[in-house]
Amino acid sequence: MAEQDPPKKPGTGLRPIERLNSEERLSRLTPATASATHHAYCSKFARDFLDAHFYYCSSKFVVARGGKVKALDEAFREAETWFSGALDWIAGTEQIEIPLFYEEKEVQVSHSFAGRLLRLLMQYDKIFADTLYSLNCGSITSSQRETTTQIAGKRINAIHQICIPDTDRFNQDGTLLNSSRS
């Protein structure tokens, strides 16, 4: 008897996860609930985050439960509060607009957290552009601009970092469990 396929292992549990960084990853989780929107961006950070991390985070939002949802919600609230204050500060500065190149990308939004994350990316782009306009006018320094955009990026990356551990790695209060298991 010729062996054509390697013998299959008996049902050992879950199938291996295929890592995908595209719309396909999300469509496998929620094919009926995803809605599309167009996002225009001018910053490298927004482009890179959309390409590398947005759909990963979106898929994690869909399956998040319990303490992970609480941790994500708290991270979003902190980021949204910070972004609101930063945008108010920038709005109070003098600005001279210069032409910027914007790219547009269709983005699948599958969960309310994904919508919130996309909104933060749009606000990041606004901070990126407005601080450039303020710098061009001389109403802020280059170090103020750099610090503001770095903090904005860190706020968004903090949400991405919460997505990485599995849901069972969080307490009900949203704190991350100790990574070492006894």
Which CA distances in Å does 110 have to 23, 28, 32, 58, 125? 10, 11, 9, 7, 22
- The 10s digit of each residue's pLDDT in 76-86 is 999 999 999 99
**Contact status, residue 35 vs residue 108, Cβ threshold 8 Å:** yes
Residues of the chain with pLDDT > 90, as a percent, come to: 58
Spatial separation of the C-alpha atoms in residues 114 and 107, rounded to whole Å? 10
- The 10s digit of each residue's pLDDT in 10-19 is 555 555 555 5
pLDDT of residue 180: 45
Q: Please check the confidence at residue 179 and state whether its pLDDT lies above 70.
A: no
**Contact status, residue 106 vs residue 36, Cβ threshold 8 Å:** yes
